[in-house]
Every structure is written in C-alpha cells, then in structure tokens.
C-alpha cells in the first residue's frame, strides 16, 4: 500500500466523521448562498446596497464570533457542546430562509447562520487536533478540508438540479437545503467523540492590552490583509453579474462550481510552493489575478467573458487563502497567537463589512461595472504594497 494511502487509513474515525459533517453542512450552505442574491433581488426587491450590507454584516459576525468561541474552548477544555451549538444554529437558520418575506428576516437568518459558523470552527479544529497523532495532523486537517471542498462542489450542482426540477422555485430549494444540514447534526451528535479527558487548551484569555502589544510584523500582515479584503468583496456580486452575462437563473450556481474547482486545484500546490519561496510573490500574483478578474467581470456581457473572470477569481482564492494566516502564525510568539488571530479576524471582518457596503453603493449609483472597476484599482494598489513589503512576508 502506498504511504499516502496508509496515512489516509490511519486518520482517526472522528476526523472522518467531522469531515462528513463539514461536507453535509457545506452542501446545505452552498445551496442557499448561490441562490440568495437572486432571491433577494427577484423575490424581495432588494438593492445591491442591501445585498452588500447583508453579506458584509454576515462576515463581520462570523469573524467576531470566532474570537469568543476560541477563548471559550480554551477556558472550558470542551469542544463538542460548542460544535453542536454552532452547527445547530446553522441548521435552524435553514428553516427561516424559505419562510422569509422581508429583507430583515433574511438578515436574521443569515446572522444566525454566520454566528453558527463562527462558533463551530474552533471547537471542530480543536477536536481534530486532540484526536490526531502529531505525525499525521497535517493529513487529518487536509482530509477535513478536502471533504469540505467536496461539499462546495456538490451544493451548487444540487441547487441547479433542483431549480430545473422545481421550475425555478428558489424557496423550495431552500427547504431542501435543510435536509443535509439535519444530517450533519445527526452525524455530529451520534458519531463524533472528543477525548474523554477533554482538550489540553491552555491559552491565556484575550485582553485589549495583549492585542495592542502585537509586534510590528503582525500588524503589517493585518494591515495588508485589510487592504486585500477591501479589494475582494463578496462573491454575491459575482453571482448577480452572471445575469448581465446572460445566465439563466437556474444555472447561476454553476459559477460557484467553476470558482471552487479552480480554487481547490490551485490551493494545495500553492501552499507547497509558499513553504519554499515565501508568500510575497504568490500574494502579489493572487492580486494580479484578482485585478484581471475584476476587469473581465466589469465588461462581462456574455458567458465566456464571465467564466473567464470567475476562473481568475478562483485563482486569486487559491493563491491567497491560507497564506495570510500562515504569516500571522509565523510572526507571532506562542503566547500571543490567540490575540493575533482574534485581532486579525476582527479587523478583516470590519473591512469586509465596509467593502461590501461600498460595492453595493457603487453598483446602485454607478451600475454593475463600477464596483469591479474600483476593485481592480484597489487590487493593483494592494499588489504594489505587497511587493514593497516582500522582505516582511517570509514564512520562516
């Protein structure tokens, strides 16, 4: 048996079950996420500004919740109860989406979903770390992420199939999204076990004094991350743009299938390259891809142009996701990692909220081209800043 296959079979059963939970919940999430912008516009009459607020507010809530979730796990040394709460809130939100008759009800459902997402990430990863032997921990986390990515592929495809079967009834598709979410809760409750002795988390509690004492290298990465997040607003606007390109509403989720496919294929080899050559060049390349994606999407009035923009957006994700977090880990001492990641999440969450509001306002006042044109300019500026900071962006 090849060594990689042997490692796969040695990954603990609990990790496989958590991977299955992630797969099922991501299927459910993508079934809603890929159709929600269309539902807001066609069903509830929402503006692009309202969509920007909903998407930005959701990201902000999730990032802020991650901070408190992590410290609760450290304090309680227990993870499964918090994971059940997080996944449970996500599953309950699925019952609100198809019943929502107003925009504020969508905001409530989206907020509940994102609070759940923010809560469950840290305890899930803590369980994986606790049950996996050190020599295969990378394989364990990789397996969980791989299964999660499968959900990202399947969710939009299932949404397309249901849209065709149900004659474009988006609310009915939302009802079906509750099924994989309920299955995810069942697997988590019945088949996931955390160590009987609890977790060995001993991180110090967060404090403002500790957060502001972070070193210059950490703040440099946080500042750069904020600029990058400002250039990359929500994919909800990409989905809306697909209508300008001539997509039928039933096939809009396929845009996310393409994006996830490119992202998934690029992420692993890029991570291996980063370990050898550093992060600066790869981050700059990702921003070049993002700028090109923005320019293509700004003029996309046909399907080929739109798909080209979506592919470059996926390349940007594949070349950038994970590198900023790795830089935070490298630049921070062990006793301040909680503060560093908490501050990182809070800052980027605020920036995403501002960026999505700005994109929605630009779309409403200047047309669908303007936010992508402005985004291209910010991406180019971020690329120049990244190159100027290349000596500070070393993964060692």
For residues 190 and 193, what is the distance between their CA atoms, to the nearest angstrom? 8
Least confident of 125-129, 139-143, 384-388: 139-143
Nearest-CA neighbor of 350 among 50, 115, 64? 64
pLDDT bracket for residue 5 (50, 70, 90): very low
- Per cent of the chain over pLDDT 70 is 82
Tell me: the pLDDT tens digits for 354-392?
Answer: 888 899 899 989 998 999 999 999 999 999 999 998 877
Are the CB atoms for 115 and 89 separated by under 8 Å? yes
pLDDT above 90 as % of the chain: 30
The pLDDT, as a whole number, for residue 287 is 95
Q: Is the pLDDT of residue 396 over 70?
A: no
Q: What is the mean pLDDT of residues 185-193?
A: 91
Burial class (CB in 10 A: 0-12, 13-18, 19+), 184: buried
Element (H, E) at 119: helix 103-131
Res. 120: pLDDT tops 50: yes
- How much is the pTM? 0.74
pLDDT at 190: 92
Q: What is the pLDDT of residue 46?
A: 82
Q: According to the model, what pLDDT value does residue 94 have?
A: 92
pLDDT of residue 325: 67
Handedness of CA 64, 322, 128, 131 (dihedral sign): negative
- Candidate from 55-59, 79-83, 186-190, 312-316 with smallest mean pLDDT: 55-59
Say whether pLDDT at 203 is over 50: no
- pLDDT at position 335, please? 55
pLDDT of residue 73: 65
As to burial, measured by CB atoms within 10 angstroms (0-12 exposed, 13-18 middle, 19+ buried), residue 324 is buried
pLDDT band at 62 (very low <50, low <70, confident <90, very high): confident
> Measured over all CA atoms, what is the biggest interatomic distance in the chain, rounded to whole angstroms?
61
Tell me which range, 162-176, 204-218, 324-338, is most confidently predicted by mean pLDDT. 162-176
Nearest to 282 by CA among 251, 325, 319: 319
Distance CA 274, CA 226 (A): 21
Q: What is the pLDDT of residues 261-279, one digit of tens each?
A: 888 777 767 766 776 777 7
Cβ contact 96:112 at 8 Å: yes
Distance CA 101, CA 99 (A): 6
Q: What is the pLDDT of residue 206?
A: 46
Length of the chain: 396
Average pLDDT, the chain: 81
> What is the structure's pLDDT at 28?
94
- Under a CB-based contact definition with an 8 Å cutoff, are residues 358 and 52 in contact? yes
The answer to whether residue 322 scores a pLDDT higher than 80 is no
Contact 173, 159 (CB under 8 A): yes
Count CB neighbours of 68 within 10 A: 14
Task: Please tell me which residue, 122 or 165, carries the higher pLDDT value.
Answer: 165
Residue 140 half-sphere exposure toward CB, CA atoms < 13 A? 22
Rounded to the nearest 10°, the torsion over CA 213, 219, 225, 230 is 90
DSSP string, 282-305: HHHHHHHHHHHHHHHHHT--SHHH
Q: To which residue do tokens 């397309």 refer?
A: 160
| 38-42, 94-98, 139-143, range with the lowest pLDDT | 139-143
- pLDDT at position 4: 46
Most confident range (mean pLDDT) of 69-78, 189-198, 358-367 is: 358-367
Q: Which tokens hold the place of 217?
A: 């290298």
Convert the pLDDT of each residue in 226-251 to its tens digit: 899 899 888 888 988 988 888 888 88
Going along the chain from its start, the domains and CATH numbers come out as: 9-203 (1.20.1250.20), 206-396 (1.20.1250.20)
Residue 101's SS3 state is: coil
């Amino acid at each position: 048996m090849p060594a990689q296959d042997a490692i796969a079979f040695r990954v603990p059963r609990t990790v496989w079950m958590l991977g299955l939970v992630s797969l099922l919940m991501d299927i459910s999430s993508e079934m809603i996420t890929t159709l929600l912008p269309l539902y807001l516009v066609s069903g509830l009459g929402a503006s692009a500004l309202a969509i920007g607020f909903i998407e930005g507010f959701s990201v902000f809530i999730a990032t802020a919740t991650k901070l408190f979730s992590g410290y609760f796990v450290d304090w309680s040394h227990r993870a499964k109860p918090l994971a059940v709460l997080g996944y449970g809130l996500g599953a309950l939100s699925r019952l609100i989406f198809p019943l929502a008759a107003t925009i504020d009800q969508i905001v409530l459902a989206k907020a509940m979903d994102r609070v759940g997402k923010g809560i469950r990430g840290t305890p899930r990863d803590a369980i994986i770390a606790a049950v996996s032997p050190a020599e295969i921990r990378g394989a364990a986390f990789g397996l969980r992420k791989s299964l999660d990515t499968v959900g990202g592929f399947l969710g939009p495809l299932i949404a397309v199939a249901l849209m065709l079967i149900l004659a474009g009834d988006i609310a009915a598709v939302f009802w079906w999204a509750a099924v994989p979410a309920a299955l995810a809760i069942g697997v988590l409750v019945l088949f996931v076990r955390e160590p009987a002795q609890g977790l060995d988390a001993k991180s110090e509690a967060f404090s403002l004094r500790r957060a502001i004492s972070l070193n210059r290298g950490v703040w440099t990465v946080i500042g750069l991350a904020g600029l990058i997040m400002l250039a990359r607003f929500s994919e909800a606007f990409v989905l809306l743009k697909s209508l300008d390109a001539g997509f039928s509403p039933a096939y809009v989720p396929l845009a996310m299938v393409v994006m996830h496919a490119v992202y998934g294929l690029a992420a692993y080899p890029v991570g291996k390259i980063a370990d050898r050559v550093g992060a600066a060049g790869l981050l700059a390349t990702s921003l070049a891809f993002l700028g090109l994606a923005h320019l293509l999407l700004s003029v996309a009035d046909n399907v080929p142009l739109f798909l080209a923009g979506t592919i470059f957006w996926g390349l940007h994700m594949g070349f950038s996701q994970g590198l900023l977090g790795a830089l935070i880990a490298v630049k921070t001492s062990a006793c301040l990692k909680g503060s560093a990641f908490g501050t990182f999440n809070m800052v980027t969450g605020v920036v995403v909220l501002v960026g999505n509001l700005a994109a929605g306002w630009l779309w409403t006042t200047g047309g669908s081209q303007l936010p992508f044109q402005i985004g291209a300019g910010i991406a180019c500026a971020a690329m120049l800043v990244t190159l100027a900071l290349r000596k500070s962006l070393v993964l060692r």
